[in-house]
Chains A and B, each alone.
Chain A
Amino acid sequence: NAGVTQTPKFQVLKTGQSMTLQCAQDMNHEYMSWYRQDPGMGLRLIHYSVGAGITDQGEVPNGYNVSRSTTEDFPLRLLSAAPSQTSVYFCATQDSYGYTFGSGTRLTVV
């Protein structure tokens, strides 16, 4: 039982490049979300999904796209990376007992 798996763990992008951060879960949780963590700001919600085919914006959605074609996967896409997107990204799932976080992806945009 892997829980929440995020790949890659580290990534360096050039400004303007695109990439997808992967998040996969094996707990059959309907609710999944993406957060970014920046120093002094805690974690902020980017996008979330309440089930396959349903997504919505969080607090800081600009520059990011998501889709949810299956219960297991919730990828986060950066279409044109900007230095302001340098951050640590966490994926999370939720059930009635609480939240499970992935180990994070550290992204640097140069």
Chain B
Amino acid sequence: AQSVTQPDIHITVSEGASLELRCNYSYGATPYLFWYVQSPGQGLQLLLKYFSGDTLVQGIKGFEAEFKRSQSSFNLRKPSVHWSDAAEYFCAVGTDSWGKLQFGAGTQVVVTP
């Protein structure tokens, strides 16, 4: 069965420090990969996506992610976090052409001054 794992439930990072959120998936073929961000009480905003091609993907708000097929990973990174990056982040995997998304449990990011 397909699965998506975000190993870190909660991460605390200082403003200006770098951030890396981990995502691992289990799926037989190359999936479609997404990262979403959700602020409290809000909907989901797409940060970036990977369908094919260059394995380093640039997204909005200064985020990037790298697809590593050998590690079945799609980790999200930001070189320098801002207080406004405090939110919950979800990795999602689309596993067929009709894209039934499977989500990870999410990682809550807290940014300290």
In Å, the complex CA distance between A45 and B103 comes to 9
With CB as the reference atom, state the residue of chain B lying closest to A45: B100
Stretch among B12-20, B42-50, B62-70, B72-80 lining the A interface: B42-50
Contact B103–A42 (Cβ < 8 Å): yes
Contact status B105-A42, CB under 8 Å: yes
Report the count of interface residues on A (CB-CB < 8 A). Answer: 21
Instruction: Give chain A's interface secondary structure class.
Output: strand
Q: Which residues of A contact B102 (CB under 8 A)?
A: 45
User: Closest B-chain residue to A42, C-beta based?
Assistant: B103
Closest B residue by C-beta to A101: B44
Expressed in whole angstroms, the minimum distance between the Cβ of A108 and any Cβ of chain B is: 14
- Interface presence of A64 (CB below 8 A): no
- Tell me which residues across on chain B come within 8 A of A58, comparing CB atoms: 100
Cβ-based interface call for A98 (8 A): yes
Residues of A at the B interface (CB closer than 8 Å) are: 31, 33, 35, 40-45, 48, 50, 58, 90, 92, 94, 98-99, 101-104
